[in-house]
Structure 1
Amino acid sequence: MNSEKENFQQKNYIQKSFYYRFSQFVGFLLGARFFVAILLTFALYVSTFFLFNQDETFRKFVFDFKVHGIIFCTVLTILAGGIINQFYDFEKDHIVKPFRTRIQSFIKQKYFLYAYLMLSIVSLGVAWMISHKVFAFFVVYQFFMWFYSHKLSRILILNNLTFVSLTLYPFFGMMVYYETFSKKVLLMAIFLFLILLCIDIVKDTLTKSVDKAFGYTTIPNYFKSKNTKVIIISLLIITIAVSMKLILRTGISGFMAYYFVGGLFVFILCIYLLLNYSRRSKFMTLNILRLWVFVGIIAMLLNGLEGKL
């Protein structure tokens, strides 16, 4: 009888231990925004090979270890940035993201900081081995990642502009590395910047009260709701204008042409939803725009494969 009881207790202990370790692992992935890093890595590889690197063969690209090293450093920096951001936003996330915060609570905050330092040091170490210029590039990237989380995320307008700029910073680095400067690339960069800016502002409208309570001065809690709606709709109209410029003036073709034409209808739908300006319509707009960014990555991949084959 005692033996059965001991076996049951041992089995129960193993199950609890497994659950605890698994929760710690998931908590770390969420804290580091691992899944966002995966998406950005995929987007970097697609844009690097099919947009910036137009002359190099696939074989040469695969064995270009310098490029892989830069992307590896980028991924580590993004993971480190996600960790330091959740460290500063921990109290706010308790309200905005209760499930994620509960999972993260299985890991002490000091271990997140250790992971942040380790990821940052490894990233800079690899960058130093690639070249001094790459090292300087990532020193600037990591500094602004930290400074955004520490200070800029609470400052009106700068918070949105810095967040979007940091998201696009690795793509800018690849553009400089391959010296791919053209009207088409510039307009595509502006297009993506505007979409990400709209996403960030719409996201802020959904956390307006919490941001205000914790001292984050965002566009929705500084301006009135009507003015915020006008700002977002104006940005979407400008995005439509940039899309039309890309379609009519740059000779873009294939899947990317379909993407930008389809985008006109998507942005008009978002404007229609925002005219209602209910919480549900803002949530739908946010997810539609996020989905459209992902569709753009797939369209670039298909367009590139069509051109390379």
Structure 2
Amino acid sequence: MNKSLFYRISQFFGFLLGAKVFVTALLAFALYVSTYFLFNKFESFRIFIFDYKVHGLILCSLLSILAGGIINQFYDKEKDILTKPFRSRIQNFLKQRYFLYAYIFLNLSSLGIAALLSSRIFLFLLIYQFLMWFYSHKLSKILFLNNITFVALTLYPFFGILIYYRNFSLEIVYSALFLFFTLLILDVLKDTLTKNADKIFNYSTIPNVFGNKVTIVNLVFLIVIDILISMKIIDHNGLNNIWTYYFALGIFVFIFCIYFLVNNLKNSKFLTLNLLRFWLFVGICAMLLNGIFN
């Protein structure tokens, strides 16, 4: 392969990884599925398709998420060299200033589109972008706030869609709580895997401050909360559709996670992290199938 072509391809993949394009693509899928099948209970599919404001809100959110991935990568660059060496090597093919140019372009594009849609959407996105920067710059190193803020920022676009449709049903509240605690579990698990690097670069995380045993106890406690929420959703809706079957099966998935963590099996945290990531993806698919067949 021509060296110049190889270099260009490496630059392209470096940008994709730096902007977390693949994670953003998954979030786009999750946003559209949840928007139509969970938040939107009153509009027909045809009205939803031609609702330019909701598509604009999702697009602006995704552009801001891409920008947030870039600024987070910029501040975490040194830590990522230790925790994500392969990704860091690919990203080095592209100079940091190009990432910053892309960050500014994506944020301005998002705000420009938002301003055309409405002043409220513009303000919503402006706050989001500020919080994304502030998290990367300051909050990511502060104990407890780092985990809580990360989860809140992940859910922020979903909150925007919820406000847009003004659908505050009990089912949505339970689902939001379930997602919040699952994402919190994932973030704490991620901190256990980057513990040494976090210590070197002064990131105050639960594993570093309280140690492994306390972290495991906290993780088990959060998993039990998710189990209780799953049981509440089943009790509220009845075990009569794909969506509630997902939560019923999820109880067994969470029990497996507790078993992995408590018995401290080899690579237990890594296995639990990826099992829960996979289960979240299954949840998006379950919501889609539930909406199609019910």
- 1:29 Cα shift? 0.2
For residue 224 of structure 1, give the secondary structure of its aligned residue in structure 2.
Answer: helix
Distance 2:79 2:199 in 1: 10
Q: Which of 268, 275, 283 is equivalent to 1:288?
A: 275
| Alignment partner, residue 209 of structure 2 | 222
| Alignment partner, residue 147 of structure 2 | 160
Preserved contact between residue 239 and residue 245 of structure 2 (Cα < 8 Å): no
Per-residue CA deviations over 1:172-230 (Å, capped at 9, x if unaligned) read: 11111001101111011000000000000011001111101101000100102111100
Q: Which of 103, 106, 110 is equivalent to 1:116?
A: 103
| Alignment partner, residue 230 of structure 2 | 243
Distance 2:65 2:146 in 1: 17
Q: Which of 254, 259, 263 is equivalent to 1:267?
A: 254
| Alignment partner, residue 129 of structure 1 | 116
| Alignment partner, residue 163 of structure 2 | 176
Preserved contact between residue 229 and residue 277 of structure 1 (Cα < 8 Å): no
Aligned length: 294
Stretches of structure 2 lacking an aligned partner (at least 5 in a row): none
Q: TM-score, normalised by structure 2?
A: 0.98
Per-residue CA deviations over 1:226-282 (Å, capped at 9, x if unaligned) read: 111000000000110010001012446411111000000000000000012355010
Considering only aligned residues, what root-mean-square deviation do their CA atoms show, in Å? 1.0
For residue 134 of structure 1, give the secondary structure of its aligned residue in structure 2.
Answer: helix
| Alignment partner, residue 134 of structure 2 | 147
Q: Which of 13, 16, 24 is equivalent to 1:26?
A: 13
Q: Which of 27, 40, 58 is equivalent to 1:71?
A: 58
For residue 47 of structure 1, give the secondary structure of its aligned residue in structure 2.
Answer: helix
| Alignment partner, residue 94 of structure 2 | 107
- 1:106 Cα shift? 0.5
Distance 1:253 1:88 in 2: 47
Per-residue CA deviations over 1:104-133 (Å, capped at 9, x if unaligned) read: 000000110000000000000000100000
Preserved contact between residue 237 and residue 244 of structure 2 (Cα < 8 Å): no
Distance 2:29 2:290 in 1: 15
Distance 1:278 1:212 in 2: 24
Distance 1:288 1:100 in 2: 22
Distance 1:60 1:255 in 2: 25
After superposition, the Cα gap between the structure-2 partners of 1:200 and 1:130, relative to the gap in structure 1 and judged at 3 Å, is: same
1:196 partner amino acid: L
After superposition, the Cα gap between the structure-2 partners of 1:114 and 1:279, relative to the gap in structure 1 and judged at 3 Å, is: farther
Identity rate, percent: 60
| Alignment partner, residue 172 of structure 2 | 185
- 1:59 Cα shift? 1.1
| Alignment partner, residue 208 of structure 1 | 195
| Alignment partner, residue 79 of structure 2 | 92
Preserved contact between residue 198 and residue 236 of structure 1 (Cα < 8 Å): yes
For residue 84 of structure 1, give the secondary structure of its aligned residue in structure 2.
Answer: helix
Q: Which of 270, 276, 289 is equivalent to 1:302?
A: 289
Preserved contact between residue 175 and residue 181 of structure 1 (Cα < 8 Å): yes
After superposition, the Cα gap between the structure-2 partners of 1:278 and 1:223, relative to the gap in structure 1 and judged at 3 Å, is: farther
Q: TM-score, normalised by structure 1?
A: 0.94
2:94 partner amino acid: I
1:101 partner amino acid: S
For residue 267 of structure 2, give the secondary structure of its aligned residue in structure 1.
Answer: helix
Preserved contact between residue 15 and residue 94 of structure 2 (Cα < 8 Å): yes
Preserved contact between residue 164 and residue 196 of structure 1 (Cα < 8 Å): yes
Stretches of structure 1 lacking an aligned partner (at least 5 in a row): 1-11
2:156 partner amino acid: Y
